[in-house]
């Protein structure tokens, strides 16, 4: 199985399974059932969406193989594929980002994010919070880079810095790093396969659930007796993530049934560009987005990727997932046979472990901005040795002319 197909199944399982669990068994913790419409009709429509989504993605993933006459384009990106040594200037660039990250985290202390959640303290409107999230996402990219080139010291430093986000309750970046480690051991090192993959995957999943539950309880300030822990409490972080995230999805299904959603993929391009560029308008960017036409879809969980697919593609949402599967296969092909295997592999791993996950969790325009920004920075990182050589050559030529 291609790596992106496996991760696509994994990501969707984390969102679909809790929906099915709550529908069949209920959920007594946190008033989850009352927050979302899970009627028979709604669940049937959601399952139809999931089925079409899976079929479209896998068909898109196979198209490249068909176009290349069925030639096997995968070596599963084994450890020998990538060999790269970072220069001193590149390491300096990385350390400057680390220093900026630490300083921003210190400034966030005044915002109160280490005492209460950012959406409770109002810190999410802070520029320091925005920069902190951007740098955290960038460190994920560097974590992938150093892990793939076997620079384990800098990879560990990146991971530790990213884990600092747990101190203010932000789990997403650490979770993505764990996805990267899964890729590293399964596809890069090929050390975990078959039964071992299932066994260690299940154990790892339970450990992650427990650790994230501890973070949630600590951040919530709850006086909790672990003698009273139940299965529902243990899985509550995943259930909250899934249910609250998909409130917007169920509402967009209702809009789709009413015929109120148009096929407007051009609006996706407009929203990504608008959100990526600096704000030069008098009003908030969110009010200028095409998504604002559908109102406040989910005050609890934000706008999910499932809802975004309907917003921009309407009833033709399968086209989006067809393109997504094809794009993932193209990145995999480039990582195996492209002229820039190091950069191509890093982009592919970043796409399937981070971007692909966020395309289920977050609005498309946010994911688009992060992808554009981080790929741009990584391109600059790889161009640093070239820039240094050009400047050195120019300086040497000037010295020769003077002499």
Q: Using one digit for the tens of pLDDT, what is the confidence trace for 46-83?
A: 999 999 999 999 999 998 877 766 554 444 554 444 66
**Quick check: 361 and 64 in contact, CB under 8 A?**
no
Selection from 73, 49, 50 nearest residue 61 by Cα: 73
Mean pLDDT confidence for 241-258: 88
C-alpha 65/C-alpha 77 separation (Å) is 17
Q: Convert 193-228 to b/e letters by CB count within 10 Å (16 or more is b).
A: eeeeeeeeeeeeeeebeeebbebbbebeeeeeeeee
Interatomic CA distance for residues 256 and 198, integer angstroms: 38
pLDDT number for residue 7: 92
Give the Cα separation of 272 and 137 in Å (integer). 17
Determine which of 40-44, 92-96, 239-243, 285-289 has the lowest per-residue pLDDT on average: 285-289
Write the pLDDT tens digit of every residue in 76-127: 554 444 667 888 899 999 999 999 999 999 988 887 776 666 555 566 667 8
Q: Is 70 left (phi over 0), alpha (psi -120 to 50) or beta?
A: left
Query: Token pair for residue 399?
Result: 């010295």
Yes or no: say if 105 and 95 are a contact pair by the CB < 8 Å rule: no
Residues 305 and 360 sit within 8 Å (Cβ to Cβ): yes
What is the share, in percent, of the chain residues with pLDDT greater than 70? 78
For residues 98 and 157, the answer to whether their CB atoms sit within 8 Å is: yes
What span, in angstroms and rounded, lies between the C-alpha atoms of 53 and 55?
Answer: 6
Measured in whole angstroms, how far is the alpha carbon of residue 360 from the centre of its chain? 8
Helix/strand/coil for 86: coil
Confidence grade of residue 194 (pLDDT, cut at 50, 70, 90): low
The C-alpha atoms of residue 176 and residue 172 are separated, in whole angstroms, by 6
Report the chain's mean pLDDT, rounded to a whole number.
Answer: 82
Torsion of CA 150, 156, 158, 161, to 10 degrees: 180
CA atoms within a 13 Å half-sphere pointing along the CA-CB vector of 25: 11
The confidence score (pLDDT) of residue 93 equals 94
- Which of these, 125, 135, 133, 48, lies nearest to 100 by C-alpha position? 135
How many Å apart are CA 84 and CA 171, to the nearest integer?
30
Kindly write down the DSSP assignment for every residue of 50-66, as one continuous string: HHHHHHHHHHHHHHHHH
Strand, coil or helix: 68 = coil
Q: What kind and span of H or E run contains 146?
A: helix 127-148
pLDDT tens digits, one per residue of 275-320: 888 776 656 777 788 888 887 776 655 788 999 999 999 999 999 9
Alpha carbons 119 and 96: distance in angstroms, whole number: 29
Confidence grade of residue 170 (pLDDT, cut at 50, 70, 90): confident
Q: In terms of Cα–Cα distance, which of 219, 214, 149, 206 is closest to 178?
A: 206
- Residue 96 is predicted with a pLDDT of 95
Residues 6 or more apart whose CB falls under 8 angstroms from that of 116 comprise 219
Helix (H), strand (E), coil (C) string for 255-275: HHHCCCCCCCHHHHHHHHHHH
| Rounded CA separation 248/52 (Å) | 19
Q: Which residue has the tokens 């800098």?
A: 154
Q: What is the mean pLDDT of residues 10-21?
A: 89
The terminus-to-terminus CA distance of the chain in angstroms comes to: 62
């Amino acid at each position: 199985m291609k790596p992106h197909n496996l991760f696509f199944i994994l990501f969707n399982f984390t969102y679909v399974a809790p929906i099915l669990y709550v529908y069949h068994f209920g959920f007594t913790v946190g008033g989850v059932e009352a927050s979302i419409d899970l009627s028979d009709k709604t669940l049937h429509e959601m399952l139809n969406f999931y089925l079409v989504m899976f079929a479209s993605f896998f068909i898109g993933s196979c198209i490249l193989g068909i176009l290349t006459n069925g030639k096997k384009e995968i070596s599963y990106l084994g450890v020998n594929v990538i060999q790269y040594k970072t220069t001193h200037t590149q390491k300096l660039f990385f350390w400057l980002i680390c220093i900026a990250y630490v300083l921003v985290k210190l400034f966030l202390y005044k915002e109160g994010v280490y005492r209460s959640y950012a959406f409770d303290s109002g810190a999410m409107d802070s520029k320091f919070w925005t920069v902190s999230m951007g740098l955290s996402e960038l460190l994920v990219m560097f974590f992938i880079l150093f892990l793939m080139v076997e620079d384990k010291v800098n990879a560990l430093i990146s991971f530790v810095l990213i884990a600092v986000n747990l101190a203010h309750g932000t789990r997403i970046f650490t979770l993505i790093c764990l996805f990267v480690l899964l890729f590293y051991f399964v596809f890069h090192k090929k050390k975990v396969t078959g039964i071992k993959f299932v066994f260690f995957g299940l154990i790892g999943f339970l450990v992650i659930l427990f650790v994230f539950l501890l973070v949630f309880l600590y951040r919530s300030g709850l006086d909790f007796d672990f003698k009273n822990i139940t299965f529902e409490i243990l899985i509550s972080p995943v259930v909250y993530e899934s249910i609250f995230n998909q409130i917007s999805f169920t509402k967009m299904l209702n809009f789709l049934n009413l015929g109120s959603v148009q096929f407007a993929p051009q609006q996706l391009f407009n929203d990504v560009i608008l959100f990526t560029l600096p704000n030069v308008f008098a009003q908030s960017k969110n009010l200028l987005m095409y998504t604002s036409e559908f109102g406040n879809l989910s005050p609890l969980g934000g706008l999910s990727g499932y809802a975004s697919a309907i917003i921009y593609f309407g009833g033709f949402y399968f086209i989006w997932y067809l393109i997504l599967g094809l794009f993932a296969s193209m990145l995999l092909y480039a990582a195996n046979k492209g002229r820039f295997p190091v950069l191509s592999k890093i982009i592919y791993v970043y796409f399937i472990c981070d971007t692909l996950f966020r395309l289920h969790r977050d609005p498309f325009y946010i994911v688009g901005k992060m992808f554009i920004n981080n790929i741009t920075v990584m391109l600059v990182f790889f161009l640093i040795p070239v820039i240094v050589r050009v400047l050195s050559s120019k300086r040497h030529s000037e010295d020769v002319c003077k002499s």
